[in-house]
Amino acid sequence: MRFVEYVIFKSRIVILALLAVFTVVMGFYATKLHMEAGFLKQVPTRHEYVQTFLKYQNEVPGANLILIAVKTHHGTIWTPAFLKRLYEVTDEVTFLPGVRRTTVQSLWSTTTRVTENTEQGINSYPVIPGNVTANAITEADAALIRDRALNGGHKGFLVSNDQTAALIVAELQEVDPVTRQKLDYLNLADRLEKQVREKYEDKDTSIEIVGFAKFIGDIANGASAVAIFFGLAFLLTALSVYLYVRSVQLMLLAVFCSLVSVVWQFGLLHLMGRGLDPLAVLVPFLVYAIGVSHGVQQVNMIATQMSLGFSAEDAAKATFSRLFVPGTLALVTALVGFSTLYLIPIEVIQDLAVMASLGVALKIVTNLVMLPLVASYLPNDPGFAATYTRLKKPRERVMRFVARVAKPRNATIVLLIFIGLLAVAVHQTRNRHIGDLTPGFSELWPSARYNRDIADIVQRFSISADALIVVVETPADGCIDYKTMHLVDRFSTYMRNVEGVNSVRSLPTSVRSTAAIWHEGNLRWVGLPRSQTELIQMTAPYDPSTGLLNETCTVLPVVIYMNDHKATSIESVVTAVKKFSATDAEARSRPDVNFRLAMGGIGVMAATNDVIAESEFPMLMWVYVAIIVLVLVAYRDWRAVICCCMPLLLATFLGYWFMTALGIGLKVSTLPVLVLATGIGVDYAFYIYSRLQIFLKEGMSMSDAYSLALQQIGVAVVFTGVTLSIGVSTWAFSGLKLQADMGLLLSFMFLVNMVAAIFFLPAFAVTLDRLFPRNVRPA
């Protein structure tokens, strides 16, 4: 380290000049970084459910839908004015970018038909006659459309059950088939808001929009408010650092170096061709928080050295030599931990892993090298030494009192508390859930417009955006084979009785109604015809655009509309599908019929929940394996592994318990934050143990060594934990529930990691030292 110190400080002018140029260049590219989102980025594309979606996405309406409900405030929808408004909205939606036009369904779609038995025979025609135009529609036309829509069985699907709203359904395509450009979801969300809602919503009509595109757009819009709370946390952090060191120069130094790495991070992300996903907006602040954590340790050591009479350059050199190794160890450990997120096969989490790992790697340069180099040029302040010395004395008294935890008797008591807390936390962790725990999207507040729209659509219609599509693979012409249709019909009835299911649509359930029509509407004939000839007649009105079959009748999708997408609801319906396929005698006797999971929004969520559940334990295991290996390499002492890892283990389980208590489920947007917070907790343990080991090697007793280590490092650790905790706690007032929840979780994790490192690390150190004495002689 003396050699490295000599080389770096000898070349400090050149190094700082190069870093300044690099900062300017990265700042230029950072301004070009933009938000981007993608539907397939949010899903595990290698999961069997998503493979089903990818295989049949061109034959069956899939998970990436948008639903627009046009609702009247007065009377019913059967008025010329409302039907004209519905036509205008349908036309606007049809020509939005990314919309697969052949999949658009509304009362005005030519594929929306009614089949009737008349004096002339069986007729099938559009609900809205071809000679009716939106600008010339009359009351008589509106009455005719009403009768056709209700007779055609569209109530509950395209028409609300109370007849006060009409639905428009459209499927999105990820890539434009002509330009081959990826769909810009944020642009589409903006168009949905401005060209649909703002344009057509008035005092008489409401427009409700749900679907992934609108959801991710609302998250992105909330990100503008996120910046405000980031700024508030930044100001609180800067103020706290100043109150700690009472030096504007050192405060600016700690904050500036932490911000510089974020600028570098943004610039490099742009050069790597990556954008910032709306669900990853919290990562930059977490990277900044890690920088502040290390920056405080650096300025604390610099201030201590300067208060002892050393020059700024000598103080910077001493700080570099003493803190570079523990700081690098902590950052490398955090980097490896964040890299394990890449094990989760979901692109948005893998992008987040790259972003976080890159940001932490840059901290090695900005906070451990650049900061002491800049500090070496600070002017000497004669009054600073006296001021800081006066501040240190009461802090050191407090630390000496806290260090009494390293007394054998106190350590035993603390260790018993640790065991009790860990046992309770592990027990409570069993109640954690994968996925959402509330009916709406947990990233948004229940009062958010999007969640209110979902609730209203579910209440008024028999369908929703939360649909599970089971793809029933059959032999060719399965739709005109009675045994096959009967099996699918029985499955549809079985799923309709599963708790949490709103309604079920399939070809057999639709054919049942058609059969009655062919027999003059006699309800005795509601059922599946047994002869192939009759089945050909009954299925003729249904073409592939209905989403109930494909061209060759080898796929008969069963669409299961759910009341919500809570984790328990998803697990219940998926289990029911598997149970029917495995236990139903008729299904087991038909090996040529396969009930394949799953398409629809619920199918994608089920796949995501499965992957997170499968990846959670291996990911955490690799995080701890990385920490153990690095601690052994750095300290060459198995005691260090236990002392550093056990407090971290307790903090992790307490974090799970906290999430369970707040009703926060593990999902794409929350699991990475828990891992990132764990990475910050590593810093506290490493800095404390590094100083403790040095004093132990000098022959001090455990109690004296820990007391001195806390006096040098402990104040900075406590200050960092409290400061970051207060800073992120302000997020609880954010308009974006994701940020509010993560603010509370991070605030809790910062404090718990700090308390665990201060109290439980020495308890383990004392106990291990008593059981396995060290062979250390005074220097």
Question: Identity (one letter) of the amino acid at 684?
Answer: Y
Query: According to the model, what pLDDT value does residue 483 have?
Result: 92
Query: According to the model, what pLDDT value does residue 679 have?
Result: 65
Inter-CA distances, 562 with 448, 459, 461, Å: 20, 11, 11
Query: According to the model, what pLDDT value does residue 126 have?
Result: 87
Contact between residue 596 and residue 473 where contact means Cβ atoms under 8 Å apart: yes
Query: According to the model, what pLDDT value does residue 491 have?
Result: 94
Inter-CA distances, 681 with 45, 90, 711, 750, Å: 32, 52, 20, 7
Can you read off the two tokens belonging to residue 776?
Answer: 């250390």
- Burial of residue 466, with CB atoms counted within 10 A of its CB: 0-12 exposed, 13-18 middle, 19 or more buried: buried
> Smallest Cα–Cα separation from 357: which of 372, 387, 337, 375?
337
Query: According to the model, what pLDDT value does residue 16 have?
Result: 93
> Smallest Cα–Cα separation from 299: which of 399, 394, 403, 378?
378
- Mean pLDDT per 10-residue interval, the chain, length 779 residues: 87 93 94 82 86 85 83 93 94 91 89 77 82 89 91 88 93 78 87 93 92 86 73 81 85 89 91 82 78 84 86 90 84 82 84 87 91 89 80 87 91 93 90 79 86 90 85 91 92 92 89 75 75 85 82 90 87 93 89 89 88 83 83 85 89 88 81 70 80 86 89 84 81 81 85 90 90 62
Three-state DSSP state, 39: coil
Inter-CA distances, 620 with 613, 625, 641, Å: 12, 9, 16
Note the pTM of the prediction, 2 decimals. Answer: 0.81
> Smallest Cα–Cα separation from 678: which of 603, 741, 730, 753?
753
Contact between residue 472 and residue 462 where contact means Cβ atoms under 8 Å apart: no
Three-state DSSP state, 263: helix
* H runs (alpha helix) in 31-72: 48-56
Query: According to the model, what pLDDT value does residue 680 have?
Result: 67
Query: What is the DSSP secondary-structure string of 527-576?
Result: S--SSHHHHHHHHTT--GGGSS--TTS-EEEEEEEES---HHHHHHHHHH
Q: Checking DSSP bridges between strand 113-118 and strand 205-211, what pairing results, if any?
A: unpaired
Give the helix/strand (H/E) hosting 169. strand 165-172
Query: According to the model, what pLDDT value does residue 15 have?
Result: 93
Give the helix/strand (H/E) hosting 208. strand 205-211
Quote the distance between the C-alpha of residue 589 and its chain's center.
Answer: 42
